[in-house]
Amino acid sequence: MKAIRYHEHGDADVLTVDDVPTPEPGPDEVLVRIHAASVNPIDTYVREGGVEPAGGLPHVGGADMAGVVETVGDDAEEFAVGDRVFATGLGLFEAGSYAEYVAAPAESLAPLPDEVSFVEGAAAAMAFATAWRGLVHRGDLAVGDTCLVQGGAGGVGHAAVQIAAHAGATVVATASGDEEFVRSLGADAVVDYGGDDAADRIREAVGGDVDVVLETHAAANVETDLDVLARGGRIVVLGEEAPIRIDPGASMTGKIADADVRFMSIMASRDDQRPILERVGPRLADGTFEVEIEAAYPLEAAAEAQRHVLSSGSHGKVVLEVA
């Protein structure tokens, strides 16, 4: 089969199109014929060597995919040949989805409804699973809360705006442009994340403090997040390749009293991946959620697709069409 691999860590130029043996699924695995994969920032962090993939190099990266079950391991009884499936969380603990086939752990697969295309399924997987887990599992988002989504136009952000709005929250999202796009997702207000007065503008937009922040760019925004956070509020940090700085002195004066800064990893939360995707799939099928596809590339153009994801101003998702 064709697979995009890297034999050494580095920039996107290390990605090569290789012919490799089609994997054999283990007892708890399912061999999936991949029709679409999506590109996420984590794919680039692993490629750069920020974290070493299990199994070492050469490595096939890629966390998200959608496709059709080709063969089923002896213990993976819940799936049958021909099932449409989608998944996230691949490409770190085993080979990933930038390939024609993947032997995926059965526990990370969820059914992909007929109404949802493979491109949409692959594009939605990590974005919606992360946003759902961040807001619901980690952020304890409740009906009537005010929710700030930092980076509301991005892959995770555009999913988070939709999930928070459907959960009954008042949603304020940040974006550097295209306010209309973010509003169309269900945001009650959209604010530019740039400038020193972002906190004032966020508070003004929603008429007060916020209960839950989903933070995609913590190093840039944590000060603003703490500023706008209501007492007892939660900031869910999704991670970034830069440290965050918090002055604990502000808690003594009451300025950040009872602030809760929480972290999460969708990659390392395998137990939650299928249950969340089982809820996301039908909501994509009935139009409750929509996934925005910014660009689609052929599998062989994975390097270009990764450069695209790292460029500024992306809206929604970048996908790889495999076949």
Ligand X SMILES: NC(=O)c1ccc[n+]([C@@H]2O[C@H](COP(=O)([O-])OP(=O)(O)OC[C@H]3O[C@@H](n4cnc5c(N)ncnc54)[C@H](OP(=O)(O)O)[C@@H]3O)[C@@H](O)[C@H]2O)c1
| Positions in the binding site for ligand X (CB under 6 A) | 40-42, 126, 130, 150-151, 153-157, 174-177, 193, 216-217, 220-221, 238-240, 264-266, 309, 312-315
**Closest separation between CB of residue 123 and ligand X, Å?**
10
**177 or 298: whose CB is closer to ligand X?**
177
In whole angstroms, what is the distance from residue 8 CA to residue 10 CA?
A: 7
**φ/ψ (deg, to 5) at 21:** -65, 140
103, 29 in Cβ contact below 8 A?
Answer: yes
Residue with the CB atom nearest ligand X in the bound state? 154
How big is the CA angle at 28 (ends 281 and 67), to the nearest 5 degrees? 35
Helix H or strand E encompassing 120:
helix 118-132
Helix (H, G, I), strand (E, B) or coil at 112: coil
In whole angstroms, what is the distance from residue 206 CA to residue 92 CA?
A: 39
**2 or 203: whose CB is closer to ligand X?**
203
Round the CA-based radius of gyration of the chain to a whole number and report it.
Answer: 20
Nearest Cα to Cα of residue 35 among 261, 299, 229: 299
**Closest separation between CB of residue 316 and ligand X, Å?**
7
**Closest separation between CB of residue 179 and ligand X, Å?**
9
**99 or 191: whose CB is closer to ligand X?**
191
**Closest separation between CB of residue 157 and ligand X, Å?**
5
In whole angstroms, what is the distance from residue 96 CA to residue 38 CA?
A: 11
**68 or 295: whose CB is closer to ligand X?**
295
**Closest separation between CB of residue 71 and ligand X, Å?**
30
**53 or 154: whose CB is closer to ligand X?**
154
**Closest separation between CB of residue 193 and ligand X, Å?**
4
Q: Across the beta sheet with 59-60, what order do the strands follow? A: 15-19, 2-6, 59-60
How big is the CA angle at 276 (ends 270 and 279), to the nearest 5 degrees? 155
**Closest separation between CB of residue 292 and ligand X, Å?**
10
**253 or 312: whose CB is closer to ligand X?**
312
**72 or 214: whose CB is closer to ligand X?**
214
Helix H or strand E encompassing 302:
helix 302-310
